[in-house]
Amino acid sequence: MKTKIIQITSGRGPAECCWVVAQVLKYFIADLKHNNINYKIIQREKGIENLTLQSVTIQLQAKSLDRFLSQWIGTIQWVGVSAFRPQHKRKNWFIAMYLINQDQEFKINDNEIIYQATKSSGPGGQHVNKVSSAIRAIHIPTKTQVLVMDSRSQHQNKKIAKIRLHEKVNQMQLDQLKSSTKNQWENHLNIERGNPIQIFKGSDFKKNTIVKTFKKQRNTLKKELRNQLNN
């Protein structure tokens, strides 16, 4: 499974752009579900107006993501009249979707974990402290650790410890990502306003299918070929 982090952002855009971010998020999630791509929203930055977003950061997981993201990564345009400022002359609003650089890999290799058996402690009568059934699992790269004494079975405690360690390390990495996305967001404030990858129109936010044809190029090539043959 491949993991990628994307961010949808309004950059320095006004409330209208923040509204577009919220609308695009709905379309994007629907597209993720349609393509059976696992996703998790890991951060939202609310806009000033109700139901608007300055940015949203999403973790994606699938066997292949490049082809899917090629239809989304880039500038996104909405053509419509502002609901916040109906008299505003501007009709074109731009946001962007970016890939976030990942310094962390969201996975743990088994050979990065060490297990230590230790005696259980706490209430339990005569069985406590006689058998080293508790398990401490340590993730070597991050020095993260968990202690499990749920069961009297050392084998069962080891299985539980592994699961909890994965959850703890992943949460730690997500927390680090949340803080780093704010810094990366600063680099994306100046959004390119040309050549949008997606276009939406109207107050109903209807998607405009961009159909690229090469008819003009083909006709030009045919004309050039005829001229060469005539000469």
Q: What is the pLDDT tens value at each position of the chain, 231 positions in all? A: 788 989 999 988 899 999 999 999 999 999 999 999 999 998 888 999 999 999 999 999 999 999 999 999 999 999 999 999 988 989 999 999 988 876 555 567 888 999 998 876 655 545 544 556 899 999 998 889 999 998 888 889 999 999 999 888 877 776 766 666 555 555 555 677 778 999 999 988 888 755 444 455 556 666 666 665 665
Q: What does the pLDDT read at residue 109?
A: 83
3-state helix, strand, coil in the chain (%, to 5): 35, 30, 40
- What pLDDT does 77 receive? 94
Distance from the Cα of residue 190 to its chain's centroid: 20
Angle at 7 between CA 10 and CA 176, to 5 degrees: 120
- pTM of full prediction above 0.95: no
Residue 72, helix vs strand vs coil: coil
CA-CA distances (angstroms) from residue 51 to 28, 40, 97, 132, 223?
A: 16, 19, 19, 54, 54
Cβ atoms 52, 26 nearer than 8 A: no
